[in-house]
């Protein structure tokens, strides 16, 4: 096993464990914190994929902004009622786990198996594409070829801001 694959396996196993923590911790705050760990580990994986800008964006947007929002909401709900965030076990768990394994099996057989090492479909290239993950290349693409999607996203974010303020107002009409 080469050292790169070993490092990848360590990060991958840690991220799977913290993702399992999100699902199986009873307390919502613990779930949120292990989701932060998952996002941080995923940004390490983005770095291994040579996507530097996206790795830092992942840290700032997900581990920073989105998780702070989650923790704020948990805090607000927690103030008013304690047990609402801690739930009891129920019998769906076994069935859902089985269905999840089935789902993973179906997709894995269809998508991942043809790509496993003996196959010749994808030969792993040594170098990343030119300028891959660099801010210059992404900025150029974002403001030239992807101008319309960029504007559409900005309108969507504006609608999101207005909508969340409207929903969070004291009186909902």
Any idea what the Cα angle at residue 136 is, between residues 123 and 46, rounded to 5°?
A: 45
Q: Is residue 22 close enough to count as binding other proteins by CB under 8 A?
A: yes
Binding other proteins (rule: CB under 8 A), the pick from 79, 82, 126, 136 is 126
CA distance 98 to 5: 29
Binding other proteins (rule: CB under 8 A), the pick from 37, 40, 59, 137 is 137
Site for other proteins in 82-121 (CB under 8 A): 84-85, 87, 90, 92-93, 96-97, 99-101, 103-104, 107-108, 111-112, 115-117
Query: Considering the complex, what minimum distance in angstroms separates the CB of residue 65 from other proteins?
Result: 7
Query: Considering the complex, what minimum distance in angstroms separates the CB of residue 171 from other proteins?
Result: 10
The sign of the dihedral angle between the CA atoms of 141, 146, 149, 151 is: positive
CA distance 101 to 52: 33
x/- contact string, 44-83, with other proteins (CB under 8 A)?
Answer: -xx-xxxx-xx--xx--xx--xx--xx--xx-xx--xx--
Q: Is residue 20 close enough to count as binding other proteins by CB under 8 A?
A: yes
Q: Is residue 132 close enough to count as binding other proteins by CB under 8 A?
A: yes
- Write the secondary structure of 54-87 as one string of H (helix), E (strand) and C (coil): HHHHHHHHHHHHHHHHHHHHHHHHHHHCCHHHCC
Site for other proteins in 138-157 (CB under 8 A): 138, 141-142, 145-146, 149, 153, 156-157
Q: Is residue 131 close enough to count as binding other proteins by CB under 8 A?
A: yes
**What letters, b where the CB count within 10 A reaches 16 and e where it falls short, cover 38-49?**
bbbbbbbebbee
């Amino acid at each position: 096993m080469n050292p790169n694959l070993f490092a990848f396996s360590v990060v991958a196993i840690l991220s799977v464990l913290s993702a399992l923590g999100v699902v199986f911790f009873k307390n919502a705050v613990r779930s949120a914190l292990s989701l932060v760990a998952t996002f941080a580990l995923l940004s390490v994986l983005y770095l291994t994929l040579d996507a530097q800008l996206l790795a830092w964006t992942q840290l700032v947007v997900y581990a920073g902004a989105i998780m702070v929002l989650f923790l704020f909401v948990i805090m607000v709900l927690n103030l008013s009622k304690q047990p609402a965030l801690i739930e009891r076990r129920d019998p769906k768990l076994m069935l859902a786990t089985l269905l999840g394994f089935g789902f993973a099996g179906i997709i894995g057989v269809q998508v991942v198996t043809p790509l496993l090492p003996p196959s010749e479909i994808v030969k792993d290239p040594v170098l990343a594409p030119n300028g891959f993950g660099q801010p210059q290349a992404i900025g150029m693409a974002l403001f030239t070829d992807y101008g319309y999607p960029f504007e559409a996203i900005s309108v969507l974010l504006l609608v999101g801001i207005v909508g969340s303020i409207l929903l969070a107002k004291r009186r909902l009409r």
